[in-house]
Chain A
Amino acid sequence: MKIKTKFRPMARAGSLFLFAMFFASGIQITFANANVVNTTLATDNQSTTVTGVVSDDNGVPLPGASVVVKGTTTGTVTDFDGNYSIEVDSDGILVFSYIGYKTVEVVVDGKSIINTTLPIDATQLDDVVVVGYGTQKKSEVTSSISQINGKDFQTSTASNAAMALQGRASGVEFVNSGTPGSTPSIRIRGIGTINNSQPLIVLDGVPVSSDMLSQLASSEIQSVEILKDAASGAIYGTRAANGVVLITTNNARFNEKTTVRLNASTGFNSIIKKYPVTNAEQLYELKRERYVMDGLPIDPNSPWADEYYNQTRTDWQEEMFRDGVFQDYNMNISGGSEKSTINANIFYRDEEGTQINTYFKRLGISLRGTQKISDRFRIEENIRITNNHTLLTQDDGGTGTSQTIYSSYRFMPAIPVLYEDGSYGSGKASTQLGDMWNPVYKAKEEWRHRYKFNTLISMKADYDFTDSLTLTARASYQKSTSKYEAFQDITPDQSRTENLPILRINTDETTVTLGELFTSYKKTSGLHNIGAVLGVSGQVDKGHFINMSGEGFASVDKNQLVMDNASIIKGDGNDYLATGLASAFVRGTYSYNNKYYLSGIFRADGSSRFADGNRWGYFPSISGGWRISNESFLKDDPTISNMKLNVGWGQLGNQNVSAFQYLNVYNKDTEYILNDTNLTGTRLASFANPDITWETTSALNILLELGLFNNKFNLDVAYFDRLTSDMLIPLPGLGTAGLVAIPDSNIGEMHNSGFEIEPSYAGQVGDLNFELGVNATIIKNEVTKLYGSSKFISGGEQTRTYEGEPISSFYGWKTDGIYQNQSEIDNDPNISNDTRRTDITPGDVRFVDTNGDNIVDEQDRVHIGDANPSLLLGFHADLNYKGFDFSAVFSGAFGHDLYDAMMMRGIDPTQSANMDAVAYQRWTGEGTSNTYPRMSTIRANDNYRVSELGLKSGNYLRMKDVVLGYTIPETITEQIGVSNMKFYISGRNLLTFTKFDGVDPEESGTGNLARGVIYNNYPQSKSVVLGANITF
């Protein structure tokens, strides 16, 4: 509290100081401009034009290599054939440089042609890494940052860049949904909190919502950096606890020849596999069998006494799923003059979903430009406009039985798609046919459109006071509007009739305004390197929504479906809770002689989400590195080319929880009529927790980098330890509080620790260049504190989170096969005191009495497994041979269980739905099955309760991406004026190795607290695509 009152005036004084400095610097702009003019005039007289080719050791031209006149800012870059042309004093010196190669200086000495070869820099360490509010040389980084180069996934068929990252970095997990246009959720180094564990996404310096991932084209991305530890993440303070993903889009350089790159691809999407279900004949047999098993006559009114239902008429998955065609086009135009650059991306994607009548379309443009106002002053603009349009047959992300994915699996196979009279087949003849609508009817006669229109306008100004000191200001404004339009017609044919056509239109709009000001300082003095960043930032998020529904339309012609034509209109709408974040941050780096490195960060964040007094959080980090290989005893080692040890510690925050939980809030949302007056009733919607504040994560990182044989072989090994304290958890929901929401309290603790191991090898055999890499992550997750050892947080019917256990344990009964005969029941000590014993019959599941009272009851439920993998594995191979290139990426998870709730429904004949194929392997008599219980609707033993019966190993390895490309030799393409032409064939999710027999072993979004519960989630698709990449 004391710190807070001190801090605020300090922050304000600091920002005023910065402002004053800039104001003063504005005056200098004029002078700076004048200087430029003078120099240009002066050099013109003595200059000569030098041209040449820059190539590598093997004579391969290097496109984009930098050519600079030493001691000036005049420079150019080589084109795609390695050619350059530059005006230079005849006695000047040219400096040639390229990332990964050693810099070479050549004295012009009157020559007009200078061809240069750049030797590979053995250490290859001088790649630049984006670190937030600036960049660092990779060699100087003392924390764990994964860098993924944009070119690695530009030929992926994934509909967004985030999906294409999967398998490429250690410690990063993806939770994918197959819903067209959806974005995966990302977890970095385990689940850091039971709350929102999505990392912060920063696009070109602007924090954006994770939905932005669906609005980016893969081709736009230059690089992705993932800040995985506190030493790097602390610069983003209270939003960095779950990691930070920094996305940098492509940009043009000064003096870059204008190039046009076109990429076009087309291909197919299809479901990875069909879900195995019974056919009508099997189902008929099973449903009849359950009467026999229960000792009952077959109900003459039921479909199971009607031979009509003993004939398969439809394979609903065949009807509902298809090969969806997709097309993707993007164009990049990029070029720069001496004073300004422009980079434009225009992209369009049209992706048919794997389900009929679904699609995802994305159209977007992004423009980036930079102007040199003077040698010292640069302005950069970044404008993005994207429109995503999705058509779905079901609501986003739902797993209920009304979802079409569910009915595609479960609708009765005896019912035809259409009857002979042309009307839709339906289950209305009997409630035993299921409380479901014909999925084809839903897909074809209803629609759900979602439009997301997103604009981002960002401006950045850089002013160099000196070569070492730069002031940067950034302002950005984002506005996203989303519209959801859904229509349901009346359904006289289907099992539950809707009487009135309903049109729903939900719109929402959110804006994010950001302002930032920071100075960067970099200085090399002898063997000392010093860097610093100091700045302030402010961000405000606002928004509002309006939801409307109209019922009763005289005409359901699409052109007549407007709210004006509805006979009943209802609606609600409000502002979203506005939130503000005010911050100040500082980072200092120091290195000595490329041997010793030190870095420190401090960020202060104030968040309006919390009550005055709990708003400000302080997030420090410190890290150091020691390049052992530069010590004299290793310097000339023939094997070890690089060895560096990094150690870092820091604290991060997570404020990503509902705002205003410190207030008692009343909602006005309950319609009623009193005294013939329509009223909207009010109710207390949430209790207050005045003490609520952010979660804090303290993280330790130890990283050893090793490079052998001229860095052909690299190995990174990291150990991490993250402790989340003050974790916000809701007190257990009690029915006695009614519907009033219970606010979160800062009481929990979660611990994640583990190793990341990343070996890679880059080599060459003749013309074959290859790189092979593995990334393995071992994570141990443990909830170390809740509100008491016996208490837990429920994640739904199947999962609980307990103290001392990993998040989301499956909680239920142990099983021990199936009772094969009566004597097994009579002699079973598990139930010898159980009153239910007489109701249990052979074919029922033997549940285990774990507490030794010889009764199977609620007290016998235990942790039976969990879905937290002990090993995450990624593997990639990149090969180049002459014009051919090949790459493959695999991703897998091991050492965890899944709970197949979908199957548990599918083997229960009480459910009025088609059953799982495995139900046919049920117990029918002694010795027939020890896994699947008898067909019965008697629930005395409740065979389908949450138990080990539903538990399955979740191990899998999947080939996420595979690409084979061929680049046509330049000698041919040159003749048609094309500098580069590549064709490729690419595939996604084509191979899966798993024993899991449910929908999909890859995790889909059931939430952190119900991790690994398998329902009818939207299945992921596999795809094959043909594409071409042309550069002019």
Chain B
Amino acid sequence: MRNYIIILFAIIICTSCDDILEQDLVGKRTDQDYWSTEADMVDALAGAYGQWATRALGMHDLFFDNQGDDHWRAGDHAEDEEIETFNTNPSNYKLRDTYKYKYEVISSANGILINGPKVKDLGAIGDASYNSIMGQAYFLRAYAYYRLYLIHGQVPIITEENVLINEYNIPKCESPEILSDFILSDLEKAVDLLPMKNVAGSVGKGAAWAVMTSIYMHRATEYNNTEFLNKAITAGQNVVDNYPLADDYLSLFREGNQYLEENLFIMMNDMEWINQSIMSKHRGPRPWGMYGFQEPLDDLVDEFEEGDVRKSVTIISDGEFAFQGSLGLVEHTSDLTNTGHSYFKYMDWTESGNFNHGLNIPFLRAADTYLLVAEAQIRLNGAGAGDALINAVRLRTGLGPVSGADINDLIHETRVELAGENFRYQNLIRWDKAGIYDLEEFLARPEKMIPSDVGRKVWNGPKNYYQPLYQTDIDNSDGVLVQNPDWVN
């Protein structure tokens, strides 16, 4: 008994204060030991890419495209209705996550840009791998800011300098142009560092050129703005010269698409590892295993020319059949949707008849850049100047070549080629700014919306060029972050 008691007390006495107070952080790492190996950099890069699958782009960003005329929101979310009818309340939570998650990508990229050189100095990584990772970090940061630029116009620019002094409450940049200049400078660094062709899932130079092309086109706010249209052509031509288009349109959206050179930037996914169902699942009929948002409108379906193979890849309509693995051919019936159509681009089934929500989703395709270059050439040099590039895109469509294509032909081609890929509304804004469309009139046309929205979906420029900033972020900034113009009553 006495021994026992002595042991008992020994527990107390021998476990001195220091032992009790020195508890280890198990299973997690800190600044003290992170950033020492190549694997640390690769993991951090994977962390930056991984955010795109969820809310950085995968989900909420896509809902802003409801404001265009390709599809209507469907689903049952009141906040989607606000967005689609151009009444976005600054407290709408769809504004919150897509903003926050993009800054998460920026945070991860900044971490790599700040700490990568330390790993290099330790001699823990070779030049090729180091340059590729640093280039991707510049690209990912640029792409996150690019999406913010399109959605909000002006946002705070958090760079390595801000991170090092823990400064996150800063005003938004003074103009969208300043933001786009910052993005372009990141992209130039990315182009310098990245290889032309990178491993599957990683971007190469092409992705950076593609975003540069897009930004120049958004900057070309007059129909024939020589400066930016020429810049777009120069940047885009790099893509045209180095990244051939895929032979088969469907293959761009199905398993194995990460190896296609046309897919410049792709969100990797699979059912076993990432298993990120949000991107592929949120569109499509609920009884088929999807969530039922975003149903294509007749207006988009009618845009396709007779015989265009892209139609059946992009859309499935009532009376058409989908092959659903062991379930065989299943008819798209009228009770599935309000419009009679569903997007089919990201719809796939496994052999056992389960919905395959593991498809890789392309974010940037070379075909987009081809068409941007073609557009720039038409706008600078007139009808026919973009024929070669338009025809390169049409080669796999089952349609014949065009000749003497004008800006309307180009817009038609762009709409069908990129349908459902989150480009339409941003392109419409671009074309409004360049004087090609008057969105106030264009988007008010009854065929551009679901019947119950007629009279409610009223576009107002310039307010609706951008979304408001999320109210809580403004509130929390204590006056530092100011709401976008026109969104303040």
Residues of A at under 8 Å CB distance from B? 8, 11-12, 15-16, 19, 22-23, 26, 29, 291, 294-297, 299, 301, 373, 379, 428-429, 431-432, 434-435, 459, 461, 473, 475, 492, 495-500, 515-517, 536, 538-540, 551-552, 568, 570, 574-575, 577-582, 606-608, 612, 615, 659-660, 663-668, 670-676, 678-685, 687-688, 732-740, 788, 790-792, 794, 797, 834-836, 855-858, 908, 910-912, 937-940, 942, 945
Contact = CB atoms under 8 A, between A and B. Distances in A.
Contacts of A612: 21
Contacts of B202: 674-675
Nearest to B456: A938
B488 A794 contact: no
A67 to B, nearest CB: 30
B27 A459 contact: no
B359 to A, nearest CB: 13
B274 A665 contact: no
Interface in B286-303: 286-292
B364 to A, nearest CB: 17
Given A8-B17, A496-B291, A740 B107 contact: yes
B20 A681 contact: no
A940 B87 contact: yes
B273 A678 contact: yes
B471 A738 contact: no
12 contacts: A29-B2, A295-B455, A497-B288, A497-B290, A663-B30, A668-B43, A671-B273, A674-B45, A674-B200, A674-B268, A684-B111, A738-B100
Interface string B466-478: 0000111101111
B50 A675 contact: no
A580 B21 CA distance: 5
A846 B74 CA distance: 30
Contacts of A668: 43
A791 B51 contact: no
Contacts of A579: 23
B28 A667 contact: yes
Given A15-B13, A674-B49, A735 B103 contact: yes
Contacts of B169: 734, 736
A685 B29 CA distance: 10
B20 A606 contact: yes
A979 to B, nearest CB: 36
A813 to B, nearest CB: 12
A515 B452 contact: no
Contacts of A577: 23, 25-26
A836 B100 contact: no
Given A736-B170, A912-B76, A26 B5 contact: yes
B241 interface: no
Contacts of B479: 790
B270 A673 contact: yes
A738 B101 contact: yes
B17 A606 contact: yes
Given A674-B49, A681-B44, A737 B107 contact: yes
Contacts of A680: 43, 46
A908 B456 CA distance: 18
Given A26-B2, A473-B8, A606-B20, A910 B275 contact: no
A574 B28 contact: yes
Given A473-B5, A660-B25, A666-B28, A568 B489 contact: no
A826 B233 CA distance: 54
Interface in B1-44: 1-2, 5-6, 8-9, 11-13, 15-32, 34, 40, 42-44
Contact of A942 (B74, B89, B104): B89
A679 B46 contact: yes
Contacts of A678: 273
Interface string B69-110: 000001111100110010101110000100111011111100
Given A578-B26, A836-B489, A740 B104 contact: yes
The 3 closest A-B pairs by CB, nearest first: A681-B47, A738-B104, A681-B46
Contact of B274 (A22, A673, A688): A673
A497 B49 CA distance: 28
B11 A515 contact: yes
A680 B46 CA distance: 7
Contacts of B43: 668, 679-682
Contact of A475 (B8, B16, B91): B8
A672 B49 contact: yes
B416 to A, nearest CB: 26
B74 A788 contact: no
A671 B21 contact: no
A875 to B, nearest CB: 42
B76 A434 contact: yes
B196 interface: no
Nearest to A831: B489
Interface in B108-139: 108, 111
A902 B47 CA distance: 38
Contacts of B22: 580, 608
A682 B11 contact: no
A869 to B, nearest CB: 27
Contact of A675 (B77, B199, B275): B199
Given A26-B5, A299-B451, A681-B49, A19 B272 contact: no
Contacts of B16: 12, 582
A11 B17 contact: yes
A739 B22 CA distance: 29
Nearest to A742: B168
B183 to A, nearest CB: 16
Given A674-B268, A683-B107, A855-B489, A582 B44 contact: no
Contacts of A578: 23-24, 26
Contacts of B105: 738
Contacts of A615: 21
Nearest to B471: A858
B286 A428 contact: yes
B251 interface: no
B234 interface: no
B47 A296 contact: no
B5 A461 contact: yes
Contacts of A608: 20-23
B1 A373 contact: yes
A294 B455 CA distance: 10
A193 to B, nearest CB: 21
Given A500-B354, A666-B29, A735-B99, A580 B20 contact: yes
B459 to A, nearest CB: 15
Contacts of A16: 13
Given A515-B11, A666-B29, A499 B17 contact: no
B26 A575 contact: yes
B354 A582 contact: no
Contacts of A663: 25, 30-32
B239 interface: no
A664 B101 contact: no
Given A26-B5, A536-B12, A580-B20, A857 B289 contact: no
A811 B24 CA distance: 42
A665 to B, nearest CB: 5
Nearest to B31: A664
B107 A581 contact: no
A794 B471 CA distance: 12
A682 B199 CA distance: 20
Interface in B334-383: 335, 338, 354-355, 357
Contacts of B42: 674, 679
A678 B276 CA distance: 14
Contacts of A836: 489
A734 B473 contact: yes
Interface string B450-467: 011011100000000000
A19 B9 contact: yes
A803 to B, nearest CB: 12
Contact of A497 (B2, B46, B271, B289): B289
A679 B90 CA distance: 37
B350 to A, nearest CB: 9
